[in-house]
Amino acid sequence: MLNEESLRGVMVPIVTPFDEQGYLDIKSFKRLVTRLRNSGIHGLVVNGTTGESPTVGDSELERMIYEARIILEELSLIVGTGSNNTAAAIKKTARAKELGADAALVATPYYNRPSQQGIVYHFLALAETGLPIILYDIPHRTAATLDLHTVKTILKMDHVIGMKDSTGDIKRLFQLTRTQSKPILCGEDDLFYASLCCGSKGGILASANLETQQFVQVYESFRNGKNQEAREQFDSLTPLIQFLFSEPNPAPLKWLLAQNRLIRSDRLRLPMTQITNETAQKAIRFK
């Protein structure tokens, strides 16, 4: 199980590979998990936003958790189990624990726009699963903005071990790292280096599906006090990050992974679509 002391470093939210017909491509998934494990990551996230979680079925998710657990061995496995239905989130989180997950990444409930009190109760209810919870604050996807009091209230819960911050508000992140003992992880790839400077303990970074070792090196260099070296390493990753978010994630990422033969197909499930030809032309430099 993960805890607040071990929640740090570069975590990769893995894509969910599909074959040309749109079925789960478990061979590509296993190959990609193995590659990421061997690249020095500190943990893997299955069924995150980058993994197209809204379109992944329960049986597919269970298969991925099962296979990832075997490949990762002792490396941390985090599973995205968020829902706007608290009972469904509890059920999915409990099942992830049964299958060997070390923690659950839980986004704030989306669409039904609960009150701040409702969000607090949502995270309180997850305590019954017995699995460590990572709060995931991503308001541009959930339409649920957490105020600082709510964040601090949730982070005080014993079963909540930290937070993934995808607000893009570096001032807010700095305030949280100064006032909270539990780790804050960066969820905005282009702010990774800045977040480390502000006290974050690492990041959950979609871009690290590619150039994985270099992202890990940014973290290791910074941790070892080589700040200038870390900045230069991160600056060299900026063009890649900008390309990967030039269209909705994970479309550009899947395209590049397929072009580099790391997965078999860049297929996505609707309503997500593959990148345009214009975007593909801009990516020649990354192939």
Annotated active-site residue in 92, 97, 136, 254 = 136
pLDDT at residue 287, as a whole number? 64
Q: Is residue 25 part of a domain?
A: yes
Q: Is residue 97 part of a domain?
A: yes
Q: Is residue 4 part of a domain?
A: no
Q: Is residue 1 part of a domain?
A: no
pTM, 2 dp: 0.97
136 is catalytic: yes
Residue 204 annotated as binding site: yes
Q: List, in sequence order, every beta strand (DSSP E) within 108-240.
A: 133-137, 160-165, 184-186, 202-204
Q: What is the mean pLDDT of each run of 10 residues along the chain (287 residues)?
A: 96 98 98 98 98 98 98 97 98 98 97 95 98 96 90 98 97 94 97 98 98 98 98 97 96 97 97 94 74
SS3 assignment, position 51? helix
Domain ranges, residue 46: 9-286
Q: Is residue 182 part of a domain?
A: yes
**Which pLDDT tens digit goes with each residue over 100-145?**
999 999 999 999 999 999 999 999 999 999 999 999 999 988 888 8
Domain count, the chain: 1
Annotated active-site residue in 97, 121, 152, 164 = 164
Q: Is residue 112 part of a domain?
A: yes
Which CATH number is 249's domain given? 3.20.20.70
Dist CA 253 CA 247 (whole Å): 10
Give, in order, the Cα–Cα distances in Å from 237 to each of 35, 147, 190, 244.
Answer: 19, 32, 9, 11
Find out whether 214 and 236 touch, Cβ atoms under 8 Å: yes
SS3 assignment, position 10? strand
Q: Is residue 44 part of a domain?
A: yes
Q: Is residue 3 part of a domain?
A: no
